Amino acid sequence: MISSTITGWGHEVPDNVVTNDDLAQLVDTSDEWIRERSGIRERRHASDGETTATMSIACSTRALERAGVAPADVDLVLVASSSPDYLTPPVSSQVQEGIGATHAGAMQLTVGCTGFVYALVTAQQFISTGACRTVLVVGAELTSRWMNYNDRSTCVLFGDGAGAVVVQATEADGCGLRGHVLGSDGSGAEHLIIPVGGVAQPTTKETLAQDLGGLRMNGREVFKFATRVLGTSLQQALDKANLAVDDIDLLVPHQANARIIDFAAREAGLPPEKVVVNVDRYGNTSAASVPLALSEAFDAGRVAPGDTLALVAFGAGLTWAAAIYQMGPAPLPV
Ligand code: UT7
């Protein structure tokens, strides 16, 4: 089995900052309610001209530059997104073209907020078998254009952004993905759904008139589900890696709600300094949240060679995933 390590990272968020007070002008809410219930202070909303592809291309270019990898040397582009520019073609091909990865295959993974962790696990499989040496893994979402601004309990939570890492084969032993869990329970599908716009209910004049569009979430159910699966899946991934909670140097959880993150960290017994939290500044960026948090952690010098990272996420499907990823021994790019 061939090992891997992360050699580059980058993130991209729109310049347009939307505060809780800004949202309170649009919907019946308040800064106090949003902060208390979710920990979110502000989020970014894309402006005209920005799309999931443009954000993905920007953060991918940054990640490749940092890794010192030429786009033509990328073997595979994986983009986790549930808000691609188009239903088809996949946004992964726009990213492949946009960065100039002329020799790469490209694939979009639509696994809700869990998508980036699924994609990272997928990247390792291609590297382990020797099929690929260099995989670009991206998580990107532009959900602000899909929000129903009549649903105050959901529209205040989400934001736009993208993050990317370059995963490369290495001769160093024992690093890369040490253990993982991928889960799905389709019986909870209705709790987090965009019901209109697919083939089951195409967008029609009637659905538009009835205001059926946008993301719908049963927040309480998703909250219960998240607190149930986060701790369990983290422990299962640690068991598979033959590691214990104390071996984790940094937990990078899906940034949906500060209360969910606090709960998961407390349950696992991890101190705050080992947990990455940026939900206060970006809200829930769905599949972008883990790579965005990870990229900021790299930028802040919170990841050292040899460190053990724990990535955990949950989302639409319902799905969940946990990955224990060990960095290689080589010094990280500045
Ligand atoms: O990545 C996808 C995963 N998604 C998530 O992880 C979301 C998980 N769920 C949550 O984060 C929380 O359930 C929410 C933040 C969505 C809601 O927090 P909550 O503590 O579960 O609140 P609630 O749904 O029980 O609502 C409490 C009250 C309700 O009023 P009543 O019925 O008690 O009078 C709501 O109508 O808060 C009201 N409310 C609001 N008030 C002001 C709901 N949304 C708002 C709002 N502003 N934006």
Q: How many other CB atoms sit within 10 Å of the CB of residue 164?
A: 36
Q: Is 59 a catalytic residue?
A: no
Q: Which two tokens stand for residue 265?
A: 């960290």
pLDDT at 212: 66
For the cut 70, the answer to whether the pLDDT of residue 45 exceeds it is: yes
Please pick, among 59, 113, 155, 175, the residue that the annotation labels catalytic: 113
Q: Is 284 a catalytic residue?
A: yes
Read off the pLDDT of residues 215-245 as tens digits, 9 standing for 90 and up. Answer: 999 999 999 999 999 999 999 999 999 999 9
Please tell me the residue having the least CA distance from ligand 1 atom 29. 153
Q: Is 218 a catalytic residue?
A: no
Domains belonging to the chain, first-starting first, are: 3-174 (3.40.47.10), 177-326 (3.40.47.10)
Angle, to 10 degrees, between the axis of helix 258-268 and the axis of helix 219-240? 30
Determine what percent of the chain is predicted with pLDDT higher than 70: 99
The answer to which of 44-48, 104-108, 210-214, 247-251 has the lowest mean pLDDT is: 210-214
The arithmetic mean of pLDDT across residues 133-152, rounded, is 94
pLDDT at 124: 98
Residue 152 Cβ inside 6 Å of ligand 1? The answer reads yes
Distance 32 CA to ligand 1 centre (A): 13
The arithmetic mean of pLDDT across residues 266-274, rounded, is 96
Q: Which two tokens stand for residue 56?
A: 């993905």
For the cut 90, the answer to whether the pLDDT of residue 150 exceeds it is: no
Distance 103 CA to ligand 1 centre (A): 46
pLDDT at 203: 87
Residue 326's nearest CA partner among 113, 170, 182 is 170
Q: Which two tokens stand for residue 111?
A: 């696994």
Residue 141's nearest CA partner among 169, 110, 166, 118 is 110
pLDDT at 205: 84
Distance 220 CA to ligand 1 centre (A): 7
Residue 216 Cβ inside 6 Å of ligand 1? The answer reads no
Q: Which two tokens stand for residue 270?
A: 């991890």
pLDDT at 208: 76
Please pick, among 132, 254, 257, 278, the residue that the annotation labels catalytic: 254
Residue 162's nearest CA partner among 88, 241, 92 is 92
pLDDT at 333: 87
For the cut 90, the answer to whether the pLDDT of residue 204 exceeds it is: no
